[in-house]
Amino acid sequence: MSAGKKILIVDDEPHNLLLLKTFLVHMGHEVAEASNGIDALKNLGADIDLVLSDVMMPGMNGFELLRRMREIPDFDDVPVIIVTTLGDKSSRLKAVQAGAMDYISKPLDPLELRVRVDAGLRMKQKSDKIRKFQSELADMVEERTLALNRALAELRESNLDMVYRLAAAAESKDPETAAHLLRMSNYCAMLAQKLGLPSDEVDIILHASPLHDIGKIAIPDAILMKPGPLDESEWQIMRTHTLHGARILDKSPNRILQVAEEIARTHHEWFDGSGYPGGLKGTGIPLLGRLSAVADVFDALTSPRPYKAPLFASEAADILREGRGTHFDPELLDLFLESFDEVLTIKQKFGDSAPHDLTFHSNQTSTDHRPG
């Protein structure tokens, strides 16, 4: 067995310590000494590979020392060999029960001592290897977890960046402001939160809803930027922005774009079935379509346009009420109006007068819309 290990020997009899030490040093080991259990606990360190302990000692006996050591995580796998004159079966059992790996009877037999000590050191070497492996494994898991979390955060950021660039592309053709996008999406997220949707879904809705009018990118400027009211044929073209938006966003593996597709396609459906493009009715309209309709119309009514002045929030609320059950899902509308203080807070926070860009911050939302 390998020499050069550090062994703690515990005995209240100096001549016993001296004898043990002599044998162990002769075997090539370094020796630390203690005169009882208390003394031994003070001398225990990370460098101790094996403990040889007497049983009967004043202050703290060998069994108690063993028991204490097994309660200390750093030393619970340090092998302990009991060295005693107690030769009866019950004492040996007690030693094993207390956690001793072995015992040696006095008077010491040098050959027996070498065999037992070598066995103890082999056991310690194995447990050291296991402990080192566990530690390396834990480090590796922690490192990989951190790397994974970093990658997920980067992926989320790049997702959001892409979404906002898309929204900004549509924005560049649309006279409506970035502030509209922020308000509208924050209204959507507020409603989603009040409906009890999970926070990650609320977050996705917040970031997806600015894309509701992305299809306007396909609408001719002459219609999109017309300063006056649209005629019927122009409206027919304008209404296709829902289908253009759905086509642009369709079949994406990205969850934000999937949600955005549903909103783009259904935010102009009416609860009574008279909306477009699908003429869907009631709860046949996806929840996000019903929810975004309330948010979008409220913000369109309360926003200035080249062709109209903004309504006061209370006037807009009255108009929304007129559409209860026809244009809007009654329950969602009620929820929106019951939360009017929060609606006004969002309206003020993302007002048209304040500078906005489409940089995303979680907990912030929104976007625009011309009532197309």
Shortest gap between Cβ of 256 and Fe ion (angstroms)?
18
Q: Tell me which DSSP letter residue 163 carries.
A: H
Least Cβ distance, residue 215 to Fe ion (angstroms): 8
For residue 8, give Cα distances in angstroms to 38, 208, 232: 13, 67, 97
- Part of the chain binding Fe ion (CB under 5 A), chosen from 40-48, 141-149, 158-166, 206-214: 206-214
Closest approach of Fe ion to the CB of residue 324, in Å = 20
Tell me whether residue 68 or residue 370 sits nearer to Fe ion (CB atom): 370
Cβ proximity to Fe ion: between 54 and 213 the closer is 213
Which amino acids are annotated catalytic? 216
Q: How far is the CB of 146 from Fe ion (least distance, A)?
A: 42
b/e map 286-319, b = 16+ CB within 10 Å: bbbbbbbbbbbbbbbbbbeeeeeeebebeebbee
Contact 303, 176 (CB under 8 A): yes
299 part of the interface to Fe ion, by CB under 5 A? no
Cα separation, 18 vs 5, in Å, equals 18
- Asked if 69 and 58 touch (Cβ cutoff 8 Å), the reply is no
C-alpha distances (whole Å) from 333 to each of 154, 244, 347 are 37, 27, 17
- Cβ proximity to Fe ion: between 102 and 213 the closer is 213
The residue type at 203: D
**CA-based end-to-end distance of the chain:** 86
- Residues 169, 174, 179, 184, Cα dihedral to 10°: -90
Q: Could you check whether the bond before residue 107 is cis, i.e. omega within 30 degrees of 0?
A: yes
Q: Which residue sits closest to Fe ion, CB atoms considered?
A: 213
Q: How far apart are CA 224 and CA 214, in angstroms?
A: 12
Instruction: Please identify, using beta-carbon distances, which residue of 104 and 243 lies nearer to Fe ion.
Output: 243
Which one of 54-62, 84-92, 121-129, 211-219 is the stretch in contact with Fe ion (CB under 5 A)? 211-219
Total number of residues that touch Fe ion (CB under 5 A): 2
Shortest approach of Fe ion to residue 245 CB, angstroms? 8
Encoded amino acid at 226, one letter: K
Residues within window 221-240 making contact with Fe ion, judged by CB under 5 A: none
**DSSP type of residue 32:** E
Name the residue nearer to Fe ion (CB basis): 213 or 299: 213
Of 213, 262, 299, 368, which lies in the binding site for Fe ion, with binding defined by CB under 5 A? 213
Output the smallest distance, CB 179 to Fe ion, in A. 16
Residue 188 to residue 293: CA distance in whole angstroms? 9
Tell me which stretch binds Fe ion (CB under 5 A): 19-27, 91-99, 212-220, 301-309: 212-220
By C-beta, is 62 or 275 nearer to Fe ion? Answer: 275
Question: Where does this chain bind Fe ion (CB under 5 A)?
Answer: 213, 372
